[in-house]
Structure 1
Amino acid sequence: MRWDRPVDAERGAQSLDVAVLLLPPVSLGTIGAIVDPFVEANRLGGQRFYDVHLVSADGAPVALPGGGRLSVGGALSALVRCDALVVASDLHQPGTNAADIVSQLKRIARVGAAFCGNRGGTGWLAAAGLLDNRRVAVHWEDMTLYRERHPELVLCASLYEIDADRLTASSSQATLDMMLCVIAQQVSPRLADNVARQLGLDRIRPGHEKQAVPASSRISQHPPKLNEALLVMEANLEEPLGSDEIAECVGISRRQLERLFKQNLDILPSRYYQELRLERARQLIVRTQQSIVQIGLSCGFSSGSHFATAYRAHFGITPREDRSRATLTGSQGTDSRAAGTPPTEPSC
């Protein structure tokens, strides 16, 4: 099943069965961004395009931030099948029942359901291995965490990503835009526009539109698309993406990407990417006691010899010599947490 399957009862197609899994912490605003577009599509379209029902991990009412509880229609374990499962959570905060939730998500995936995750829900889908090798929209604030915990994902700085039967959104507002995009694909762009107006929106933002990024990027003199590309590169150091993939993540062509780098940084994207990975590797060389080979692999180099050659060509010194020099000057730390420190350049 794909999210872009047409839905039109008048032409014999059945309505789409959408289950929404609520995993605390989850706010009414988050739930509304998911449910309201479908409810309004049914109302304005005059037919039942979507059957939406809420479930929780154990079937009990879900506690809401600030007090109150929201009743649901059942437990995740009782969900036999659905066309699509939306995992809704403001933050991915695994509890004592995390293993069971992940197991249930995998079970539902085996029956062919499509999946969608908002900012916190994406963390649950990633933990279940349901986003491996998929384009995933991640909030800029969570990029470093995802890069370290889920190197198998293709992280994107976009508002949202629709990769076949896997949908991810970087924020609650982006989730709303994404659901409207689904309605446009499945039913009609006109209905989606009407729903957007009903919800007080003047337009539906495309998925490739940029997120609000850190202040250092917002005040940067670089064009927004270049900042997005830099963010994508930072988030995918262990398994580097090709220029075509980076361009796709930020919604431009490869030629446009190369032009942006040449005009603003006077360097090709591939060269910049390698230098970024080498700078990251040097941080780990001088700040941690990880093996040099492991550092090379974690920064996207295919072998120890490849890493050493590239390192020497860039810094004029081998990784081992650099580590020895750092040890002599007392600049090498022993705190393994430094391995999670993001590169300081580029600032985005």
Structure 2
Amino acid sequence: MRWDRSVADSGANPLDIAVLLLPPVSLGTLGAIVDPFVEANRLAGRRHYDVHLVSADGAPVALPGGGRLSVGGALAALVRCDALVVACDLHQAGANESDILMQLNRLARAGAACCGNRGGTGWLAAAGLLENRRVAVHWEDMTLYRERHPGLVLCASLYEMDADRLTASSSQATLDMMLGVIAQQVSPQLADNVARQFGLDRIRPGHEKQAVPATSRIAQHPPKLAEALLVMEANLEEPLGADEIAECVGVSRRQLERLFKQNLDILPSRYYQELRLERARQLIVRTQQSIVQIGLSCGFSSGSHFATAYRAHFGITPREDRSRATLTGSTPATEPPC
């Protein structure tokens, strides 16, 4: 089975989509995932998609507003599928977390495309299924993902389709993403017709960026620059190249450099390094982590490289800075909990 195959041909078999419900999950979240495929089948007059629900243990799933939603079986009983969509409003580890992560990996190895909404993405990331992939993360969750999952290429986009890994930043973005799937696998016309059934005048493309509240620190900047700043802040441990950042934001490298120069009077590479150094200084003065480890976690290739850049920027070595912080009593005795 292949997720990227077309199902538009009259003889094509329906794509088998399993939706894993992991509490807390609302009917709104479920509808954003399931309804586009159901409506596509109805409007097309044939089954392009077979959608079925599963839960971790096969038992009905409790809904946040009360009531329970029945499913067709347990995750462990699912042998294989074309796509597994993890539906969850908030990733919360539980007693059966290790078993769920094991089953997610099993199905991914069997060839299932892995998709997640905002909370579902957290489960996929915890399972290690999003490493080195572009991942759409809600702007509120950027810092958390940066700290917990440094191997992800975090993006401030509405949704990302990186081969067989699909992630959406919100419930509304999940709806757009599923409409985008229909456009790719069946036809843009069918996807547009489905969108209009939901009262939408257009399908937002994945590369559109999330609306960040005006209270955000970066909202004062032009939208493309603000998006670049979010991407940089989300990828400190393994810094992206200027071309990669520009691609995530949807501009050319020259345009990116012009934005930084006009608004911040600095080149993107220089700003990125200073951002990583500021993060490193926070860890130097507030924790007892190894200085070398801090340098590596902030994207510097070696201890000497880190120390040189640190001194050039702050006029003091990391070790001297920590000693000064210790004397003033600002460094904790132990590493604070995550």
Which bracket does the TM-score occupy, shorter chain normalised?
A: over 0.9
Aligned length: 338
Query: What do the CA deviations read for 1:148-180 (whole angstroms, capped 9, x no partner)?
Result: 111111111111000000000000000000000
User: Displacement, 1:245?
Assistant: 1.5
Specify the alignment match of 1:343 in structure 2.
none
Alignment of 1:293-308 (within 5 A): 293-308=292-307
Specify the alignment match of 1:289 in structure 2.
288
Alpha-carbon distance between aligned partners in 2 of 1:67 and 1:326, rounded to the nearest angstrom:
52
> Is 1:191 aligned to 2:165, yes or no?
no
Conserved 8 A contact 1:140-1:214: no
Secondary structure of 1:195's aligned partner: helix
Alpha-carbon distance between aligned partners in 2 of 1:151 and 1:328, rounded to the nearest angstrom:
32
- Unaligned 5+ segments in structure 2 are none
Query: What do the CA deviations read for 1:122-146 (whole angstroms, capped 9, x no partner)?
Result: 1111111111110001111111111
Alpha-carbon distance between aligned partners in 2 of 1:24 and 1:202, rounded to the nearest angstrom:
32
Which deviates further from its counterpart, 241-250 or 269-278?
241-250
Q: 1:2 to 1:273 in 2, by over 3 A?
A: farther
Conserved 8 A contact 1:3-1:182: no
Specify the alignment match of 2:207 in structure 1.
208
Conserved 8 A contact 1:17-1:51: yes
User: Displacement, 1:246?
Assistant: 1.4
Alpha-carbon distance between aligned partners in 2 of 1:55 and 1:43, rounded to the nearest angstrom:
23
AA in 1 matched with 2:26: S
Which runs of structure 1 show a deviation greater than 4 angstroms over 4 or more consecutive aligned residues?
none
Specify the alignment match of 1:261 in structure 2.
260
Specify the alignment match of 1:24 in structure 2.
23
Alignment of 1:53-68 (within 5 A): 53-68=52-67
Specify the alignment match of 1:8 in structure 2.
8
Q: Percent identity over the alignment? A: 88
Secondary structure of 1:136's aligned partner: strand
Alpha-carbon distance between aligned partners in 1 of 2:266 and 2:3, rounded to the nearest angstrom:
39
Conserved 8 A contact 1:217-1:227: no
Alpha-carbon distance between aligned partners in 1 of 2:334 and 2:289, rounded to the nearest angstrom:
10
User: Displacement, 1:110?
Assistant: 1.4
> Is 1:168 aligned to 2:167, yes or no?
yes
User: Displacement, 1:243?
Assistant: 1.3
- Unaligned 5+ segments in structure 1 are 341-348
Specify the alignment match of 1:346 in structure 2.
none
Specify the alignment match of 1:241 in structure 2.
240
Specify the alignment match of 2:45 in structure 1.
46
**Structural RMSD (CA):** 1.5
Specify the alignment match of 1:326 in structure 2.
325
Secondary structure of 2:299's aligned partner: coil
AA in 1 matched with 2:223: P
AA in 2 matched with 1:329: T
User: Displacement, 1:120?
Assistant: 0.6
Query: What TM-score do the two structures reach when normalised by structure 1?
Result: 0.94
User: Displacement, 1:218?
Assistant: 7.5
User: Displacement, 1:3?
Assistant: 4.1
> Is 1:124 aligned to 2:126, yes or no?
no
Query: What do the CA deviations read for 1:70-100 (whole angstroms, capped 9, x no partner)?
Result: 1111111111111011000000011111111
User: Displacement, 1:219?
Assistant: 7.6
User: Displacement, 1:63?
Assistant: 0.6
